[in-house]
Structure 1
Amino acid sequence: MNILILGATGFIGSAVAARLVADGHAVSGLGRTPVRARTKWPDVRWLRADLAHMTTAVDWQETLKDQHVVVNCAGALQDGFSDDLAASQADAMLALYAAAKTCDVRLIVQISANADTSVADLPFLATKRRADDALASSGLPYVILRPALVVGRNSHGGSALLRALASMPFGLLLIHSQSPIETVDIKDVAAAVSAAVCGEIASGNDITLASSETLMLCELVKLHRQWLGLPPAPIIPIPAALAKPLTWLADFAGHLGWHSPLRSTAMAIMSKGIASNGTVSAIRGGSAAATLAANPSGIQDLWFARLYLLKPLIAAGLALFWLLSGIIPLLSPQEASQHLLAFMPPTAAMTLTLFTCAVDIALGAALLFRPLARKALLAMLAVSLAYLAGGTLLEPSLWLDPLGPLIKVLPSLLLTLVTLAILDER
């Protein structure tokens, strides 16, 4: 069959795509940035689109042409610079259902979430529920799958955060450490989608996917620590109130285009746990321990875990370095331009000083804005090399300066390269 996967570049979507391709289906993947995906998965036909801009039935007509099944693996945790939950998780889905009625779509598989919790009014869950309810009453053949916390060989979001927390050196700092957590192997999610496509799961089913056990968050983090090959470490519970500043910063970063798993939505869901509460309609898979054992960790997993929480600190620290490099000379521009007077007139020296300050401030600010981060980092490399070259030509004695104004550019270059190396999120 011809199958369209929404969010096919994501953690769950890519696993579902691989399974359906292996089953022999003709798979098309829709994503916002499928450039790298085209290289990684050449067997998938890739389409570029943003669900937030596909909110009418007309927007879907060409995309749904000749598609027999639609699998929705797309989703966003919280509104932010690049995410509009109401548009992408609700309005776009209602438009999809309307368009599907006029096309040859025979089944819609919706990857949803457990919306039956005390935090069901969160926009993330409310928009999912709105789409689910509309699908159930649309008259279209459908299957809704509600996976617990998805664990697999790769990781993203909550599962990536688990690895990061597990890698802490001296103690495991945990908020809501006693919250109940159910997991599900990502292969079981892909298998359930495959079963729905093949008709093994009848249309009209709304099914929870979870393991056969429920662990507390602290137990799950310890399990991941063991998986990483690290020695046991004590659990250090952190009161939720102390995490509010961190959550506020994560939410603010979300408005700048960064996707932190520490945002308020994730913290609210984690405070209540991720459990199916004994749902009758459920497919039970293997335990989290079995999933991890089937996917032994490598040194790259330990590197990722240790760098995951350092990444925002590295980026913020580098941005602050450039901002201060531009702001501090402006506090005394006459003094800052003194070292240039031996090579140019005072007016030119002042102009160059103000220009370099403006460049430094602009690059530092641009790095904080996720859509511009890569370009900002590349510009930082170019500007740093220009500073080194200019300083060496005009005043080579600066290399011997006890304060090392030129030498200090070298670690900045290395930090920029590190940030570039770990910038990608998917």
Structure 2
Amino acid sequence: MNILILGATGFIGSVVAARLVADGHAVTGLGRNPMRARLKQPAIEWRRADLSHMTRPGDWEDLLKDRQAVVNCAGALQDGLSDDLSATQAEAMLALYAAAKRTSQPLVVQISARTAGAAGDLPFLATKRRADEALVGSGLPHLILRPALVLGRNAHGGSSLLRALAAFPLALPLVHADSPVETLSVDDVAEAVSRAVAGGLRGDIDLAADEVLTLADLIGLHRQWLGLAPARIFSLASWLARPVTWLADMAGLLGWRSPLRSTAMTVMSEGIRSEKRESGLTATSAPATLSANPSGVQDLWFARLYLLKPLVISGLSVFWLLSGLIPLLALTKTSAHFLPFMPEAAATALTLATCLIDVALGATVLVRPLAKRSLLGMLVVSFAYLTGASLLEPALWLDPLGPLVKVLPSILLTLTALATLDER
């Protein structure tokens, strides 16, 4: 079959795409930035597209030509600079259904979620529910699959947070530690999609393993998987997490997709449960999923670095903002360093320019779409400062306060931020 996969570069989508290729299907993957995916999965035809800009049926007609199936693995947790939930999860899907009815009327497989409960009215689930209801009413052949918490060899979002919390040193501080959580393997999702494409699965299906763990149990299981000794769990009141959630929401507005945002916390407050009905599908338990994918040292590194990453980005931002703002408070004194080499007006102008560059880099590194360019800018400016100062005033290397020596750790921190910047 000729199959189109939305969100094919993501955690679930990449596994589903690989499974369908292995089944012998011709697969086209859709993603915002498929360049790396094209290198990793060359058997797939890759197309670049942003669902938030595909809200009219005409946007889909060319993509849907001769398609026998469409699998929607795309989704987002919360509105922000990088995501528009209404456009991506609802309007784009309604446009797709309208176009599909006018073309080949393909099978539509929608990877959705349980949309009832405490978070049911939040945009994350409300938009999914709107798309699900529209799909049922469209008359198109379809499967709506509602998986519980998906685990796999890789990690993204909530599963990344599980690993990060499991690697916490000494003790594990948890909010909603007793919330029930059902899980399954990402391979179970791929199996369900494969069976739907083969013609054996239709309707609206919840999918989860029979085992129900608490959040504390699940994190303890991940800690064991990472090869770490058991640690004591401290159950925290939910209000203690509100400052972290607020910061995560602010980061979301700047394009960072943190799993600590308010939507995720609301969902976890009641747990992740399903309403399993007989479907002929089986799901893999969390212990079996993890034991089938033994961890390596790279998993331990990832887990330990995951929560350090926002601190590294924030620390760099503060460093550059202060390095630009503090000299502005004593502009005349700061510009005096340049007086032996240029006129006073030029020295003042150069000092002001460097301060504004520092402030700009410190601010833009907080904006996710600009972060990589900002980090590269930090490296360029740092080496320019070191080179210029070494040539014009080498005695600064002997300064007891170390204004040049301090640049070296910031360069290493910037390289660390660049190395950990990718999210998938």
With the length of structure 2 as denominator, give the TM-score of the two structures: 0.98
Contact 2:207 2:276 in 1 (8 A): no
2:35 maps to which residue?
A: 35
Unaligned runs of 5+ in 2: none
1:101 aligns with 2:101: yes
Corresponding residue of 1:365: 363
2:236 aligned to 216, 235, 238, which one? 238
Amino acid at match of 1:79: D
Partners in 2 of 1:279 and 1:317 — Cα distance?
49
Asked if 2 retains the 8 angstrom alpha-carbon contact of 1:185 and 1:286, the reply is: yes
Q: Specify the alignment match of 2:164 in structure 1.
A: 164
Provide Cα deviations, 1:171-218, integer angstroms capped at 9, x if missing partner: 0111100000000100000000000000121x3x11111111010000
Match of 2:343 in 1: 345
Quote the Cα distance in structure 1 between the aligned partners of 2:352 and 2:213. Answer: 58
4+ aligned runs moved over 6 Å, structure 1: none
8 Å contact from structure 2 (residues 80, 252) kept in 1: yes
Aligned equivalent of 1:299: 297
Residue 423 (structure 1) aligned with residue 415 (structure 2): no
Structure 2: distance between partners of 1:168 and 1:116:
32
CA distance in 1, matches of 2:106, 2:45: 20
Task: Find the aligned partners of 1:41 and 1:307 in 2 and give their Cα distance.
Answer: 27
Letter of the 1:98 partner, please give it.
A
2:272 is matched with which residue: 262, 271, 274?
A: 274
**Other-structure match for 2:392:** 394
CA contact (8 A) 2:161 2:259 kept: yes
Contact 1:79 1:85 in 2 (8 A): yes
Matches within 5 A, 1:26-425: 26-201=26-201, 203=202, 205-279=203-277, 283-425=281-423
Q: What SS does the corresponding residue of 1:137 show, helix, strand or coil? A: helix
Displacement after TM superposition at 1:281 (Å): 5.3
CA distance in 2, matches of 1:282, 1:177: 32
Q: Deviations over 1:323-363 (max 9, x none)?
A: 10000001111111122222222111111110100000001
Q: Is the CA contact 1:210–1:283 (under 8 Å) kept in the aligned structure 2?
A: no
1:104, 1:319 → 2: CA distance? Answer: 51
What's the CA shift for 1:378?
Answer: 0.7
With over 3 angstroms needed to count, the CA separation of the structure-2 counterparts of 1:300 and 1:220, relative to structure 1, is same
Contact 1:206 1:281 in 2 (8 A): no
Contact 1:70 1:105 (8 Å CA) reproduced: no
Worse overlay, 284-293 or 187-196: 284-293
> In 2, Cα distance between the equivalents of 1:341 and 1:282?
80
Q: Is the 8 A contact 2:208 2:276 kept in 1?
A: no
Uncovered stretches (5+) of structure 1, i.e. residues with no partner? none
Deviation at 1:282, TM superposition (A): 7.7
Residue 70 of structure 1 contacts residue 108 of structure 1 at CA under 8 Å; is this kept in 2? yes
1:2–1:27: 8 Å Cα contact kept in structure 2? Answer: yes
- 2:105 aligned counterpart, secondary structure: coil
TM-superposition CA deviations, 1:278-331 (whole Å, max 9, x none):
555584412100000000000000000000000000001011100100000011
The RMSD of aligned alpha carbons is 1.0
Q: Which amino acid is 2:46 matched to?
A: W
Q: Helix, strand or coil: the match of 2:60?
A: helix
Contact 2:119 2:263 in 1 (8 A): no
Amino acid at match of 1:159: S
SS in 1 for 2:102: coil
d(CA) in 2 for partners of 1:148, 1:400: 59
Partner of 1:24: 24
Instruction: Answer whether contact 1:209 1:282 (CA < 8 A) is retained.
Output: no
2:317/2:366 contact within 8 Å kept:
yes
Distance 1:375 1:119 in 2: 36
Q: What fraction of aligned residue pairs are identical, expressed as a percent?
A: 66
TM-score when scaled to structure 1? 0.98
Deviation at 1:119, TM superposition (A): 2.1
Write the distance in 2 (CA, Å) between the matches of 1:285 and 1:251: 33
